[in-house]
């Protein structure tokens, strides 16, 4: 970000009490974080897709690539936690109702319209910046 002339004033964050007390707590919290990160990148893809210039295309492609990595993280977390199926989202979209299709829990991914909305989700989860 600094190479783009951007900065982020917060570098230290606190987490809810108990987050790191056990492997199961850490895995559950990690899955919630990945859900928010995936939604943030889905929102970035959606926003950038509206700009059909070179920059919009670049941003949409980069956000989609990073979102793919976040999805891999969530699958690994769910696999380590012993959850089945490890990926509980069917195509990462609004899938409607649960069905017998593998991975279709009927739970759509949240798509955050802005970075501020994703940050608000993190704060609601208990992640707070420390001054």
Q: How confident is the model at residue 54 (pLDDT cuts 50, 70, 90)?
A: confident
Does residue 8 lie in a domain region? no
Does residue 131 lie in a domain region? no
Do 44 and 61 contact (CB within 8 A), yes or no?
A: no
Classify residue 48 as exposed, middle or buried by CB count within 10 Å of its CB (0-12, 13-18, 19+).
buried
Which residue range forms the structural domain that includes residue 117?
18-125
**46 vs 52, more confident:** 46
**Cβ of 8: how many Cβ atoms within 10 Å?**
8
Going by the DSSP 8-state scheme, the letter that residue 30 receives in this structure is H
Does residue 2 lie in a domain region? no
Q: What is the pLDDT of residues 57-75, one digit of tens each?
A: 888 889 999 988 998 898 8
Count: domains in the chain: 1
**Cβ of 68: how many Cβ atoms within 10 Å?**
13
Q: What is the pLDDT of residues 74-99, one digit of tens each?
A: 889 988 998 877 766 554 554 556 56
Helices within 1-131 (DSSP H only):
23-49, 54-80, 115-125
Does residue 33 lie in a domain region? yes
Do 20 and 26 contact (CB within 8 A), yes or no?
A: yes
The span from the CA of 20 to the CA of 126, in Å, is 13
Whole-model pTM: value is 0.72
């Amino acid at each position: 970000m600094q190479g783009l002339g951007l900065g982020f004033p917060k570098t230290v964050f606190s987490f809810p009490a108990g987050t790191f007390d056990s492997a199961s707590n850490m895995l559950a919290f990690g899955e919630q974080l990945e859900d928010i990160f995936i939604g943030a990148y889905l929102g970035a893809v959606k926003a950038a897709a509206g700009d059909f210039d070179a920059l919009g295309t670049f941003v949409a492609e980069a956000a989609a690539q990073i979102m793919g990595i976040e999805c891999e993280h969530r699958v690994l977390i769910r696999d380590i936690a012993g959850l089945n199926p490890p990926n509980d989202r069917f195509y990462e979209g609004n899938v409607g109702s649960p069905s017998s299709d593998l991975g279709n829990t009927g739970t759509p991914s949240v798509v955050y319209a802005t970075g501020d909305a994703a940050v608000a989700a993190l704060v609601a989860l208990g992640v707070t910046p420390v001054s």
